[in-house]
Copies of this chain bind each other. A is one copy, B any other.
């Protein structure tokens, strides 16, 4: 998962580790707290060994001015390679059970603007399936096995069930939007929408289902 996220971010611009972590946190803030350096650096090492990214010591723009006295050490900038872009394309397109888990889905979704529509639809429907199953499990528990559990556990299940139902509705909306060829929901004032680089869908619709 980290691999996919790193490759995706480096595709936008070369970065050093610290920056990468901040961008990662910004992009995935909704699904995970903050990614640890204990994961980040080893993964960068691995990606580099595989030839998907290259490491370059930062050369200050004004290199001639201050040759080597202040020395400006550290700051290793990582750049994605052609093979890395290929790898990203492969990872982003391939779907499996882990694509539908909480983290996997979140990461894939965060890069939906680089994903073709067929894949987007496949992922959204797979995720819906997964959540529906979780929901049924919770419903069963709250129905049949309720007397075996204490009041707090039951309340936890109820809250979880609520979240499942809510997410299924959210996914339904997204799927409907996707099928109609529209971009995802756009905020009321309409001034959003990131820079368009490669293959995000044509966003012709300005419809926004109001959220009261």
A33: chain B residues at CB < 8 Å are 101, 134
Q: Is the CB of B30 within 8 A of A157?
A: yes
Is A53 part of the binding interface, using a Cβ–Cβ cutoff of 8 Å? no
User: Which segment, of A62-70, A83-91, A143-151, faces chain B?
Assistant: A143-151
Q: Give a binary string over A154-193; 1 marks a CB under 8 Å from any B CB, 0 the rest.
A: 1111111111001100100010000000011111000111
Please report the C-alpha to C-alpha distance between residue A146 and residue B134 in the assembled complex, in whole angstroms. 32
A152: chain B residues at CB < 8 Å are 109-113, 184
> Smallest CB–CB gap between A89 and chain B, Å?
17
Q: Is the CB of A155 within 8 A of B113?
A: no
Identify whether the interface residues of A are mostly helix, strand, loop, or mixed.
Answer: helix
Is A194 part of the binding interface, using a Cβ–Cβ cutoff of 8 Å? yes
A7: chain B residues at CB < 8 Å are none
Please report the C-alpha to C-alpha distance between residue A147 and residue B150 in the assembled complex, in whole angstroms. 47
Question: Nearest CB to that of A115 among chain B residues?
Answer: B152
Size bracket of the A interface: 35 or more
Is A137 part of the binding interface, using a Cβ–Cβ cutoff of 8 Å? yes
Is A141 part of the binding interface, using a Cβ–Cβ cutoff of 8 Å? yes
- Contact A154 B31, CB 8 Å, known A26-B141, A170-B159: no
A134: chain B residues at CB < 8 Å are 29, 33
Please report the C-alpha to C-alpha distance between residue A152 and residue B152 in the assembled complex, in whole angstroms. 36
Q: Would you mind naming 27 contact pairs between A and B with Cβ atoms under 8 Å apart?
A: A27-B149, A29-B138, A29-B141, A30-B138, A30-B156, A30-B159, A30-B161, A33-B101, A110-B153, A112-B152, A113-B150, A113-B151, A113-B153, A146-B187, A147-B194, A150-B193, A150-B200, A151-B184, A151-B185, A151-B186, A151-B192, A151-B193, A151-B200, A154-B184, A159-B167, A159-B170, A162-B166
